[in-house]
Amino acid sequence: HFYNSTSELQRRVVFEKDVAGIKRIATDAAKMITDMAATAGGGYRFEYSPESFTGTELDVALEICNAVTEIVKPTADNKLIINLPSTVEMSTPNVYADRIEWMCRNLDNRENLIISLHPHNDRGTGIATTELGLMAGADRVEGTLFGNGERTGNVDIVTLALNMFTQGVDPELDCSDINRMKDVYEYSNQLKIPERHPYVGELVYTAFSGSHQDAINKGMKALKKANTPIWEVPYLPIDPADVGRTYEAIIRINSQSGKGGIAYVLQADYGLNLPRNLQIEFSQAIQAITDAEGKEVPAKRIHERFLETYIDQPGARLKFLDHRTFPDTEVKGRRIVEADIIDNGREVTITGSGTGPIDGFVDALSRHVGVDMSVLDYSEHSLQRGSNASAISYVEMEYPGGKLFGAGINTNIVAASLEAVVSAANRIIGGKAG
């Protein structure tokens, strides 16, 4: 690879030569290098760059490149690389692309040339410049890992490759373990990749916004249901798994987050499929934490808060122990429910009647605590697979002051449901939603 700067500014200020003098530098180098290669036995490919191409008049760049081509005499089997750098970005990407197209159309012996791009990022448009340059007819790109280089850096070859990949073009670069690439880059260069750097940054597959989280949550569910290889999830242009990233950090919770994000975290990390109304209710508890602390709430703490609020309930008045049901001999189709509970540390037995265990238990509990309660909504799902898997039940209870959820976990689904009723009752008689 040999090069010399050809721009008007450098001709005038640095070299103090006219176009002929600058061309002579290039042609002398071409003669010297081809002679040396021939002496060494041949088998070399040559590359020439008119450095500062973006500051060089097109007719001057063409004249010098053609002069070099004439000396190198490329063939179909041994093509010459003509590298056209945006050594310093000086215009919008479309202008650079127009220059590339013009050179491709006017260079001598074009069929035996490989037109190469070498973009920098002074205006922050190195990627766009490269993409448009390729569309304009270039054959090759020179870039660096994650955009390292002079000043604002060279074009980021990783971002460029993955941009192409998302459009169905194979860049023939393996980016399937992007975290490893990041680690090697940061260790070798002692440079830190920003958190928002495309494709590789810590936060690029992460949503904090509530509306974004809700859309991602629904998109992931729809993708799983559709069972299609086509990746279609809002706000995630690629599947993070394609570059070796996990789904754990897709949604992170802070003061901007909403119910969808919190629901996704609990479902993805802990297998909890919260009913929609429970998502709304529980999100208020997490929102209170983020508003008070002004920082991100990790998934582990969200889960702990859920267990504390709905399952463990430390210091709660009531606790479910066991139950039995019997046919109601006086009313056809109804059951008598007898349940053992702990109330303020004392074991008691309560009795009620209803159409089933839940209905009868709610009747018994309402009589016991003196609050009229009824079930508005009920759902359950397994937490693991297998015959001995635990199940979780969610129960929304209505009472004179409003409505609140409870939840229960047990290997027996009926027991889980009754535990959920007790959970809701504890929150109701406690007079607070948390």
CA-derived radius of gyration, the chain:
35
pLDDT at residue 392 greater than cutoff 70? yes
The whole-angstrom distance between residue 195's C-alpha and the CA centroid of its chain comes to: 12
Q: Taking a C-beta distance cutoff of 8 angstroms, is the pair 128, 95 a contact? A: no
The pLDDT tens digits of the residues spanning 160-178 come to: 999 999 999 999 999 999 9
pLDDT at residue 123 greater than cutoff 90? yes
Compute, in degrees rounded to 10, the torsion defined by CA atoms 406, 410, 415, 417: 30
Selected from 3.40.190.10, 3.30.43.10, 1.10.1740.10, 3.30.160.270, the CATH number assigned to the domain covering 318-430 reads 3.30.160.270
Q: Taking a C-beta distance cutoff of 8 angstroms, is the pair 325, 360 a contact? A: yes
pLDDT at residue 266 greater than cutoff 50? yes
Ordered by start, the domain boundaries in the chain are 2-142, 210-312, 318-430
Contacts with 378 (C-beta within 8 Å, 6 or more apart), sequence order: 358, 393, 394, 395, 396, 417
Residue 232 is encoded by which pair of tokens?
Answer: 């279609």
Residue 118 is encoded by which pair of tokens?
Answer: 């070498």
The whole-angstrom distance between residue 93's C-alpha and the CA centroid of its chain comes to: 27
Q: Taking a C-beta distance cutoff of 8 angstroms, is the pair 83, 48 a contact? A: yes
Average pLDDT, the chain: 93
Fold of 210-312: Arc Repressor Mutant (1.10.1220)
pLDDT at residue 434 greater than cutoff 70? no
The amino acid sitting at 193 is I
Find tokens 């898997």 and name the residue. 389
pLDDT tier at 11 (50, 70, 90 boundaries)? very high
**DSSP per residue, 204-229:** TT-B-SHHHHHHHHHHHHHHHHHT-S
User: Which of 114, 183, 112 lies closest to 142, judged by CA?
Assistant: 114
pLDDT at residue 433 greater than cutoff 70? no
CATH architecture of 2-142: Alpha-Beta Barrel (3.20)
Rounded distance, CA 191 to CA 177, Å?
A: 19
Find tokens 């009647």 and name the residue. 353
Q: How many CA atoms lie within 13 A of 243 on its CB side?
A: 26
Q: Taking a C-beta distance cutoff of 8 angstroms, is the pair 221, 257 a contact? A: no
The pLDDT tens digits of the residues spanning 322-370 come to: 999 999 888 888 999 999 999 999 999 999 999 999 999 999 999 999 9
pLDDT at residue 305 greater than cutoff 60? yes
Q: Give me the pLDDT at residue 319, please.
A: 96
User: Which of 67, 73, 70 lies closest to 26, judged by CA?
Assistant: 67
Lowest mean pLDDT among 185-189, 228-232, 271-275: 228-232
Length of the chain: 434
> What is the mean pLDDT of the segment spanning 3-29?
97
Rounded distance, CA 236 to CA 207, Å?
A: 9
Residue 262 is encoded by which pair of tokens?
Answer: 């919190």
Rounded distance, CA 156 to CA 179, Å?
A: 16
User: Which of 308, 315, 330 lies closest to 430, judged by CA?
Assistant: 315
Instruction: Label the pairing between strands 374-382 and 140-141.
Output: unpaired
Find tokens 């192409």 and name the residue. 164
The pLDDT tens digits of the residues spanning 43-75 come to: 899 999 999 999 999 999 999 999 999 999 999
pLDDT tier at 293 (50, 70, 90 boundaries)? confident
- Say what the pTM is: 0.71
Select the more confidently predicted residue: 312 or 297. Answer: 312
Q: Give me the pLDDT at residue 281, please.
A: 94
Q: Give me the pLDDT at residue 42, please.
A: 85
